[in-house]
Amino acid sequence: MSLSLDEAKAEFGSGRYKNTLLTIESLEASGFVHPELWVLKGLAILSRDEDHEDHPTYKLEDAERAFKHALSLDPGYVPALVELGWYYLAVCNKAAQAIGYFEQAIEAEKRDLKRLVEGLVISVSEVRGNGKARLYLEELPGNLLSDIAMDEIAPWIKPCFRATDLAPFGLFIWPHLSC
């Protein structure tokens, strides 16, 4: 029988953590390598029953190792950063250690969000024109991109922004397109 990551996720979603771990172990044995597998393993370890009867070979520290292994495969893997942050905060009661992981996850999300907005602006501008792109941007929640500075926006978009138009939005990057 061929197992898949989707099957492990389905087991986890159904609360069958022992089966989740058994499926993950089979995937590991077959050579399957992906950070999502290791995050799922860490979550399954943390989600087991208090008495650990469902899979007694794992300890809480194994969840930490699983999250860190996911990061060794992909240092910017946001789910691993988030879960490791929560592990230190909620399981270990080490908030100071959690901060760095949450900060890294937020920075990674900001980079992705910047790329998403650039793609959105380009797409809306090409399909509906710059005026529609401006209106679309104005309708987005005001705090969505408050940490993305003007110099981080794609170079071709910059000429369409007027700094004087930013005040009504209370944010550095929310301009009206003027092209």
CATH architecture of 5-93: Alpha Horseshoe (1.25)
Tell me the per-residue pLDDT of 23-43, one tens digit each, with 9 for 90 and over. 999 999 999 999 999 999 999
pLDDT at 171: 33
Tell me the per-residue pLDDT of 116-141, one tens digit each, with 9 for 90 and over. 777 777 788 788 877 777 777 777 66
Half-sphere exposure of 137 (CA within 13 A, CB side): 33
CATH 1.25.40 positions along the chain are 5-93
Give which of 146, 144, 150, 148 is closest to 163, Cα–Cα: 150
Is residue 41 a contact partner of residue 47, using CB atoms and an 8 Å limit? no
In this prediction, residues 161-174 reach a mean pLDDT of 37
Residue that has been written with the tokens 């989600």 in this structure: 47
Tell me the per-residue pLDDT of 69-119, one tens digit each, with 9 for 90 and over. 999 999 999 999 999 999 999 999 999 999 999 999 998 888 787 777 777
Name the residue with higher pLDDT: 104 or 56.
Answer: 104
**Cα angle 166-171-175, degrees, rounded to a multiple of 5:** 35
Would you put residue 7 in left (φ > 0), alpha (ψ -120 to 50) or beta? alpha
